Structure 1
Amino acid sequence: MKKTDGTEQRKTDVKVSLIGGHRLEGETLHERTLTVSFVGGADVDLTGIEIPDGAELRITKLSLIGGVSLKVRPDVVVEVHGIRLGGVKDDGPIEPGGPTVRIDAWGLLGGVTVTRW
């Protein structure tokens, strides 16, 4: 579908559950993903996909209890935003100049952990 200005419309994936988290694989994601749960985190593996340089992938996590575990390539820049009681564990990109993954984590308990492969 095209927007009125001729650009491609971005697709948004929505995952909802009351109890239990979500496992998200890179090849099943679009540019934007929203995952909502009362109790449960999100396990996101982006190591199997090629994200073009300059592209931005956005993942929004809403939950009372549950964090985000993210696996990315060494060159991916990860930006974490939102409010939660829990920290962010990320050593930063190992290689410069890669694509950006933005995590918006909103919740009461749960941090964000980034693992680079």
Structure 2
Amino acid sequence: MTDDSVPDHRAPAPAPAPTPDLRASDADRERVAEVLRDALAEGRLDMAEFEERLEAAYRARTYGELTPLTRDLPTAAAAAPPAPVSFTKAPAESGSWASRIVGGEGSSAGGVAILSGFERKGRWTVPKRFNCFAFMGGGEIDLREADFADREVEINCVAIMGGLQVTVPPGVEVVVRGIGVMGGFDHPRDDDGPPEPGAPRVVIGGFAFWGGVGVSRKVTRAEQLRLKERRRQERVERRESRRELQRERHEGRRELRRERRDREY
């Protein structure tokens, strides 16, 4: 016989693991995408395999479809279903600007292209000052997935009969101060709105002679796939909404005909 006044300190039974056919959320798909990006940066996946898996991740509907995409990667546990979260407080975003301003030194101090080319893209750390030079060659500086050594970084570009391309993500403040002689510096469009709070400031300066420095804003390929998938889902939802409206109208007409027949008889 037990005494009801004595509290039971036994731990509750663990919740059952989600089944493979459980529907996955956007956060689950993004978690898998982050694992794939890290694997690409570490050389575990080539670009073709990365793009194939990333597209499959954003198409996935269930945990069973997500799990095989990271099963052979060291951080495959990141693709597992997340623990239950509280809806009283939103978790901080792992990709927030605060997490991308890491301090310290950059992973690359500059790039040189003489009758050749260079590129800095993917996961890398932009130093406080990045110097690049192109003579009858070209270079690509892609900041979309980069971390930043400081809240303000400077990219000094010198292009002589060559070209340099700087790509920044939306939300970053960009200031262009370069001088062109029979050449020029592009200015990115500001139709994405004002800079996001906490975003870094990128100052692009230097000199272009018979050459050019291009500056553009673009989202990452992963984000392009996400937006493409979102648009597809919206089209599906609109089609379903139209079908539902047509069914309701059809049912209404049938009900109206039924009422007319009842009045006639």
- Asked whether the two chains share a fold, i.e. TM above 0.5, the reply is yes
Aligned mate of 1:27, from 115, 124, 133: 124
Q: In structure 1, the residue corresponding to 2:124 is in which secondary structure?
A: helix
Distance (whole Å) between structure 2 residues aligned to residue 66 and residue 45 of structure 1 = 17
TM-score with structure 1 length normalisation? Answer: 0.72
Letter in 2 for 1:114: S
Aligned mate of 2:214, from 76, 100, 112: 112
Alignment correspondent of 2:160: 64
Aligned mate of 1:99, from 195, 200, 205: 200
Q: 1:94 to 1:22 in 2, by over 3 A?
A: farther
* 1:42 corresponds to 2:139: yes
Q: 1:87 to 1:9 in 2, by over 3 A?
A: closer
Unaligned 5+ segments in structure 1 are 1-7
| 1:76 to partner: Cα distance | 0.3
| 1:21 to partner: Cα distance | 2.7
| 1:113 to partner: Cα distance | 2.6
| 1:100 to partner: Cα distance | 0.6
Q: 1:55 to 1:62 in 2, by over 3 A?
A: same
Q: 1:94 to 1:42 in 2, by over 3 A?
A: farther
Query: Which has a greater percent of strand?
Result: 1
| 1:50 to partner: Cα distance | 4.1
Letter in 1 for 2:217: T
Q: Deviations over 1:27-60 (max 9, x none)?
A: 15322111123122321111112448x8111111
Q: 1:86 to 1:47 in 2, by over 3 A?
A: same
The answer as to whether partners of 2:159 and 2:213 remain within 8 angstroms in 1 is no
| RMSD, aligned α-carbons | 2.7
Using the aligned pairs only, state the percent identity: 24
Q: 1:49 to 1:87 in 2, by over 3 A?
A: closer
Q: In structure 1, the residue corresponding to 2:193 is in which secondary structure?
A: coil
Letter in 1 for 2:110: V
Q: In structure 2, the residue corresponding to 1:107 is in which secondary structure?
A: strand
Q: Which has the larger radius of gyration?
A: 2
